[in-house]
Amino acid sequence: MEDLIIKLNELLYSSTPVIDSIWIWVPAICIFLLSVSIIASDRLFDTKSTSKKLAEDPSSKADQHEKAQLLDKAPQKEASPTKETLKPTSNKQTPDTTSKDILVVQTKSEVAPQANVPSDVSEIRALTGEGWLQRFRKGMSKTKNGLTSKLTSIITGKTQIDEDILEDIHETLYRADIGTKTVDKLVDGIRRKIPSGSATSAEAIQACLKDQIQDIFSQKAHEAFPVKSNEQPRVILVVGVNGVGKTTSIGKLGAHFLAEKQSVMFCAADTYRAAAIDQLKVWAERLGINIVAHQDGADPAAVAFDGVKSAMAKKVDNLIIDTAGRLHNKKELMDELQKIKRVISKDCPDAPHEVWLVIDATTGQNAFHQVEAFTEVVDLTGIIVTKLDGTAKGGVIVGVVDRYNIPVRYVGVGEKAADLRAFEPEQYVSAMI
Ligand SMILES: Nc1nc2c(ncn2[C@@H]2O[C@H](COP(=O)(O)OP(=O)(O)O)[C@@H](O)[C@H]2O)c(=O)[nH]1
Ligand SMILES: [Mg+2]
């Protein structure tokens, strides 16, 4: 017993430092735990208020992806499991539009009307008729200089018209890519109006050509494209071979429709390369336009189908569908277009309301083959001619309209949205010769 008491004494003596240190550590741990719990409760409150805000905000409801990002949750699925309907983070749509998303913007734009208008749209709105004409003339200057300087040099030093002169005129017009048949017709016209042996000048020949070209445009289908449509959505399918400027033109068209206070949705049905989808997404973000897109490699018809469904649900004025132009062979390309057409008419029987072929003015005579190839599978309702600024062969429009009687809807003279404009035959003729 005595031994036990001695051992206990020893143990108590040896653990005294431990007991002492407990008096320092216990309060320290308590203070630490208390501060951790205060920080944690603050964070919890913050998250709750963000969730509440998102749930109450109708604009956020329309954008499940943005909401999912903020809450770090998987997005709520829509009609198609693979579909990705993107809405830019800051909505910059113009007011007076009809879709649900855009109604919310109207409230925002009442506060700061200018702040919500994308710069591409305000640039288009600010461009007056005269401003555009200058831009267009500048774009067409290579064609005009080529034609007028050549015609002048053909006539210089000659007082009477003869077959040699007519032959030179034929070659000059042919080089401007007007197309053989149309050039034959134009030269015959000069022959009739200024008979061989009569006095002539470069101005007289130019005036004669202008009249005839104007005539071609007035005889063919050339009513201006109705900006306002009764269809909702008006589905515009944009086709053309690789690199002609389809995606860029779609972006520009989006800006033009917004400038006219119409709502727009894009559909990225060129799924051949991820870059093509991204290119359209960049335009959509820039303009504050909704876009329906799948992953690259997806079935383009499925994307187009989802695009139409979404555009119908949101009642947008215009749905513009981008398509691929780089398939391995013509048959594959055309089969795909036919499938897209078939599929989109399921839900919207009259769709596509417009099928626009984009042709690149720098490709010259090839443009005629492209019109022929595409008219075999789709009923083209219009043509967009791009890159008129990069060529002296801007005469391609005359040949296309004369041969195929398909209206030219828009012309492009540069890469900016304001470089695209509705085609005006008179402006074109005066900028060309
Ligand atoms: N200079 C000029 N370049 C253009 C015009 N339209 C498109 N481009 C350019 O042409 C290239 C191909 O355009 P893209 O839209 O990708 O062609 P897509 O393959 O048919 O979709 C891009 O570098 C565009 O910026 C235009 O009117 N003028
Ligand atoms: Mg493209």
Q: Whose CA is nearest to atom 19 of ligand 1?
A: 243
- What's the rounded mean pLDDT across residues 114-122? 81
User: Is 200 or 26 the better-scoring residue by pLDDT?
Assistant: 200
- Does the beta carbon of 142 lie inside 6 Å of ligand 1? no
Q: How far is the CA of 370 from the centre of ligand 2 (A)?
A: 16
Nearest CA to ligand 1 atom 10: 245
Whether 389 lines ligand 1, by a CB cut-off of 6 Å, is: yes
Name the residue at shortest CA distance from atom 22 of ligand 1: 245
From first CA to last CA, the distance across the chain in angstroms is 126
- The per-residue pLDDT for 212 is 96
248, 393, 413, best to mutate for ligand 1 pocket (most atoms within 8 Å of CB): 248
User: Ligand 1, closest atom to CA 270?
Assistant: 21
pLDDT band at 31 (very low <50, low <70, confident <90, very high): low
Centre of ligand 1 to C-alpha 386, Å, is 7
In this predicted structure, what is the pLDDT of residue 60? 35
Give the distance (Å) from ligand 2 centre to CA of residue 19.
77
What atom in ligand 1 is closest to the CA of residue 358? 20
Q: Which amino acid is at 80?
A: S
CA 292, 298, 304, 310 torsion: positive or negative?
Answer: negative
Instruction: Compute the distance between CA of residue 342 and CA of residue 350 in angstroms, rounded to an integer.
Output: 11
Which range among 103-117, 169-183, 251-265, 375-389 shows the weakest confidence by mean pLDDT? 103-117
The arithmetic mean of pLDDT across residues 22-42, rounded, is 54
Q: Is the CB of 242 under 6 A from ligand 1?
A: yes
- In the predicted structure, residue 375 carries a pLDDT above the cut 80: yes
pLDDT at 134: 92
Q: What is the pLDDT of residue 65?
A: 39
pLDDT at 105 exceeding the cut of 50? no
Ligand 1 nearest-atom number relative to CA 386 = 27
Q: Which atom of ligand 1 is nearest to the CA of 241?
A: 20
Nearest to 92 by CA among 60, 117, 128, 129: 117
Q: Whose CA is nearest to atom 13 of ligand 1?
A: 245
From the CB of residue 144, how many other CB atoms can be counted at a distance below 10 Å? 18
* pLDDT for the residue 54: 29
Asked if pLDDT for residue 368 goes beyond 70, the answer is yes
Name the band, by pLDDT with cuts 50, 70 and 90, for residue 92: very low
* CA 300 – ligand 2 centroid, Å: 13
Which residues share a beta bridge with 356?
A: 238, 382
Would the CB of 244 count as within 6 Å of ligand 1? yes
CB of residue 247 inside a 6 A radius of ligand 1: yes
The tally of CA atoms less than 13 A away on the side-chain side of residue 184 is 3
**According to the model, what pLDDT value does residue 23 have?**
57
Q: Is the CB–ligand 1 distance for residue 306 below 6 Å?
A: no
pLDDT greater than 90 at residue 42: no
Distances, alpha carbon 114 to alpha carbons 42, 92, 191, 425, in Å: 38, 10, 57, 33
Q: How far is the CA of 243 from the centre of ligand 1 (A)?
A: 6
